[in-house]
Amino acid sequence: MGSSPSSEDLARYLEQKGALTKPWLLMQLRLSKLKEEKEAMGQDEYILRVQDAHADLMRMGEFWRGQERETFGASAGPTAL
């Protein structure tokens, strides 16, 4: 398995693709940056930042309500159980 791109490479790619407005990709960029900075921060700071990112990710779930078809296509949406 290869290494993941740096946060700078990822940001450049997202900018080139016009994807900087997509919250799920911005979260990926945020987590990539956090991973790179982990060694330079204390454990408490790292845990706080991971918890903050997690909370934002959980709130992002609300963002998706009702947008599945628009974002992923006409056949997307919750499946019947």
Query: pLDDT digits over 5-48, tens only?
Result: 899 999 999 999 998 888 888 999 999 999 999 999 999 999 99
Looking at per-residue pLDDT, the higher value among 76 and 47 belongs to: 47
Residue with tokens 């791109």: 5
Q: Residue 4 contacts by C-beta under 8 Å, 6 or more apart in sequence?
A: 32
Query: What's the pTM?
Result: 0.68
Q: Domain ranges in the chain? A: 7-72
DSSP 13: H
Q: For residues 53 and 34, is the Cβ–Cβ distance under 8 A?
A: yes
Alpha carbons 45 and 52: distance in angstroms, whole number: 10
